[in-house]
Structure 1
Amino acid sequence: MIEQEYLTPEGLKRLEEELEYLKTVRRAEVAQRLHDAMAEGEVEENPEYEDAKNEQAFVEGRILEIETILANAVLIENKGPSNEVRLGSKVTITELGSGHKEHYIIVGSAEADPANGRISNESPLGRALLGHKVNDIVSVQAPEGEIKFKVTHIANR
Structure 2
Amino acid sequence: MSRWRPPQAASTAVITAEGQRRLKTELEELWRVRRPDVVKALAAAAAEGDRSENAEYTYRKKQLGEIDRRVRYLGKRLESLRVVDTRPADTSAIFFGAWFEIEDADGNVRRYRIVGPDETDAATGCISIDSPLARAALKKRIDDEFEALLPGGKRRFTVVAVSYTDMATVRSPRGASRSRPARRRAVRVDRG
Question: TM-score scaled by structure 2?
Answer: 0.76
Q: How does 1:38-53 map to 2 (within 5 A)?
A: 38-53=46-61
Residue in structure 2 matched with residue 87 of structure 1 by the alignment: 96
Greater percentage in strand? 1
Structure 1 contact 78–87 (Cα < 8 Å) conserved: no
Q: Which has the larger radius of gyration?
A: 2
Structure 1 contact 105–118 (Cα < 8 Å) conserved: yes
SS in 1 for 2:148: strand
**Residues in 2 aligned to 1:105 and 1:3: alpha-carbon distance in whole angstroms:** 17
**Residues in 2 aligned to 1:29 and 1:142: alpha-carbon distance in whole angstroms:** 43
- Per the TM alignment, residue 115 of structure 1 is displaced from its structure 2 partner at its CA by 1.9
* 2:120 maps to which of 87, 100, 112: 112
- Residue by residue over 1:23-55, the C-alpha shift from the partner in whole angstroms, topping out at 9 and shown as x without a partner, is 100110110111011011111121111111111
Runs ≥4 residues deviating over 6 A: none
* 2:69 maps to which of 61, 68, 73: 61
* 1:137 maps to which of 145, 149, 155: 145
How much is the aligned-residue C-alpha RMSD, in angstroms? 1.6
Residue in structure 2 matched with residue 25 of structure 1 by the alignment: 33
Residue type of the alignment partner of 2:39:
A
* Identical residues among aligned pairs (%): 32
Greater percentage in helix? 1
**Residues in 1 aligned to 2:132 and 2:47: alpha-carbon distance in whole angstroms:** 51
Residue type of the alignment partner of 2:49:
G
User: Structure 2 vs 1, CA of residues 23 and 6 (structure 1 numbering), >3 Å: closer, same or farther?
Assistant: same
SS in 2 for 1:78: coil
**Residues in 1 aligned to 2:15 and 2:50: alpha-carbon distance in whole angstroms:** 46
Q: Which has the higher contact order (CA 8 A, sep 6+)?
A: 1
Residue in structure 1 matched with residue 172 of structure 2 by the alignment: none
**Residues in 2 aligned to 1:39 and 1:59: alpha-carbon distance in whole angstroms:** 22
Structure 2 contact 145–157 (Cα < 8 Å) conserved: yes
Residue type of the alignment partner of 1:132:
K
**Residues in 2 aligned to 1:111 and 1:59: alpha-carbon distance in whole angstroms:** 19
SS in 1 for 2:100: strand
Q: Does 1:36 align with 2:44?
A: yes
**Residues in 2 aligned to 1:38 and 1:119: alpha-carbon distance in whole angstroms:** 44
SS in 2 for 1:66: helix
**Residues in 2 aligned to 1:62 and 1:104: alpha-carbon distance in whole angstroms:** 28
Structure 2 contact 12–129 (Cα < 8 Å) conserved: no
- Per the TM alignment, residue 3 of structure 1 is displaced from its structure 2 partner at its CA by 6.1
* 2:109 maps to which of 96, 101, 107: 101
